[in-house]
Amino acid sequence: MNDILGVARQQVLEEGVPLDEEQALAILELPDDQVGHALALAHDVRMRWCGPAVEVEGIVSIKTGGCPEDCHFCSQSGRFHTPVRAVKLDIPALVRAAHQTAATGATEFCLVAAVRGPDERLMAQVRDAVAAIQAEVEINIACSLGILSREQGEELAGLGVHRYNHNLETARSHFPEVVTTHTWEERFETLELVREMGMEVCCGGIIGMGESLEQRAEFAAQLAELEPDEVPLNFLDPRPGTPFGELESPTAKDALRAIAAFRLALPRTVLRFAGGRELALGDLGTRQGVLGGINALIVGNYLTTLGRSPDEDLDLLTELKMPVKELSSTL
Ligand code: SF4
């Protein structure tokens, strides 16, 4: 596509109209020497349509490993031999983690469980955990508990859960290569339910799971259609023992092209750097990302892999004069 950056400047930056699938593909196919320009434009779009604030979030695992599903990238599937160990839920420790997360300026604290969907026991634990955190810590609580029934969606919304994460992971056309134990459509139904119940929708995926560039663009367009409040963008971190353990992480340039393309396809969304950024982009990756369309970060560790220290990220935001988004503006 000729002059995709010129078209995107007019269409997305000036008019706020997202790139469509074909246009997102043109960004993903840009030559290396154009990537810097694409990131600069993505940054301008983020500043224009979202503003300078960066949303900071913490995540904590309330059930690790032993999941019955077979998502081929996931070290928490009980079907693969991976070194992830289960942890026992400890509510006082969870409240301490929420305090520590809030002390970094974070506004979201997400409880994550490695399950297909919650059973009654897990729902009871979530009930207790949410009440204990709400009683002591000023922070929005998010949950990521897999596929929900209507009753479970109603209950979580009733508890005051602010946002629900459920990733579509990849393009609909590529999903059967990634997961065989449930469908893309099942995931999509949960996302519709989350919205209907009045919770914010958080939905993203992983770049670099063997999808073609066309499928990467397809995924960006499918997310744009869903209009999630937040999109976590992960880059494959091949976990030993999983079916995708031998794939390579995306190259830095491919990761940066993806960041620009997703921002230009989702101009108003909270676009969050999630797992794998250190691997795909190295130490400079966070800087390149937040100057290329990213406007949310996870502080501290991810669920099964180590992230960077929160201080490094927070110092970077200070240096770049990007304020941490405040809780009062999100409540
Ligand atoms: S459902 Fe979630 S925890 Fe279970 S295997 Fe898939 S990604 Fe991993």
Q: What is the pLDDT of residues 75-106, one digit of tens each?
A: 888 888 776 555 667 889 889 889 888 888 89
Distance between Cα 205 and ligand 1 center (Å): 12
Q: Give the CA distances from residue 8 to residues 44, 108, 266, 283, in Å, rounded to whole numbers and listed in that order.
A: 11, 31, 12, 29
Give 253-310 pLDDT, tens digit per residue.
999 999 999 999 999 999 998 777 776 677 677 888 889 999 998 876 544 444 556 7
- Whether residue 119 has pLDDT greater than 80: yes
What percentage of residues in the chain have a pLDDT greater than 90? 67
69 lines ligand 1 (CB under 6 A): yes
pLDDT band for position 331 (cuts 50, 70, 90):
very low
CB of residue 141 inside a 6 A radius of ligand 1: no
Residue 106 CA from chain centroid, whole number: 15
Which phi and psi angles does 203 have, rounded to 5°? -150, 120
Across the chain, which distance is largest between two alpha carbons, in Å? 57
Tell me, in angstroms, the distance from the centre of ligand 1 to residue 65's CA: 9
pTM, full prediction: 0.92
Q: 38-57, pLDDT tens digit by residue?
A: 999 999 999 999 999 999 99
Q: Which residues pair with 29 in a beta bridge?
A: none
**Length, in residues, of the chain:** 331
The overall average pLDDT reported for the chain is 90
State the virtual CA torsion across 76, 237, 233, 218 in degrees, nearest 10: -100
The Cα 224–Cα 4 span in angstroms is 18
**If 0-12 CB within 10 Å is exposed, 13-18 middle and 19+ buried, where does residue 10 land?**
exposed
> Which residue CA neighbors atom 5 of ligand 1 most closely?
77
Evaluate: CB of 13 within 6 angstroms of ligand 1.
Answer: no
Point out the ligand 1 atom lying closest to the alpha carbon of residue 74: 8
Task: Quote the Cα angle for 92-94-99, to 5°.
Answer: 95
Residue 234: pLDDT over 50: yes
pLDDT, position 1? 63
- Structure confidence at residue 300 (pLDDT): 64
Does residue 67's CB lie within 6 angstroms of at least one atom of ligand 1?
A: yes
Residue 191, classed as helix, strand or coil, is helix
Cα of 66 from ligand 1 centre, angstroms: 9
Task: Write down the pLDDT at residue 330.
Answer: 45
Please tell me the distance between residue 71's alpha carbon and the centre of ligand 1 in angstroms: 6
Separation of alpha carbons 39 and 291, rounded Å: 7
The pLDDT of residue 83 = 65
pLDDT at 88: 67
- How far apart, in whole angstroms, are the C-alpha atoms of residue 28 and residue 42? 13
